[in-house]
Structure 1
Amino acid sequence: MTAAYAFDDAATGRATSAARLTAPIFHRLLDRIDAGLESGGIEASLPDGTRRLLGGRAPGPMPIVTVHRWRALLRLATAGSVGWYEGWTAGDWSSPDPVPLFDLFMRNRISLG
């Protein structure tokens, strides 16, 4: 783990003070994702304990995602879909069924940029 990804305590999985301080930045990133979802949505549980519905304004897939570590969003922002996949393999996020999530991203690929 590089210093750039040190957002939680590896032993306890609890957010460090850095994670709490950076949470507003990640919520702004989620606001951008929310605005870009034209069909479907994401039911997200976040590391700071909040739950958000992103999108959901028009019919489409509605996957459930648990973001365990903020670095999942850092990976998404810096490396796109490859970073998101790497976050999944690292356990930074999980979903009971990730297929609808990738369907959602494909349907909204233009509006998400």
Structure 2
Amino acid sequence: MKKKLWFAVTLAITCLLFGCGTVNTVLRDDSVPRRNLSHVKSPCETIPRIYSGISYNICTLRGKPSSPTLWMGAAPELMLVDLVLSGVLDTVVLPYTVYEQIYEGSIDLRK
């Protein structure tokens, strides 16, 4: 029974991390948030690297999804969970994102 519960928790955490705004903006290439936000037709033009996960999630919520998917419009209440998790992770990686913001600037979504 404990193995099933452990597996379910691990699967849930993994699913949340794949949709996590911080993972998409800090750990992945700048083209990933650009592509994802263009799919939802987000009005955002740039995302600051400092607390970029929260900014990414807000831009996703402001978008208009072309087809409903789990993260892009069908379940905004799950996006609120992701906002909290992104806030925690953004705080953990703050020294790195401050450095990136100074030397790289914001993530440009218009390219």
Same fold (TM over 0.5): no
TM-score, normalised on structure 1?
0.27
Bigger share in strand: 1
Choose between structure 1 and 2: higher helix proportion.
2
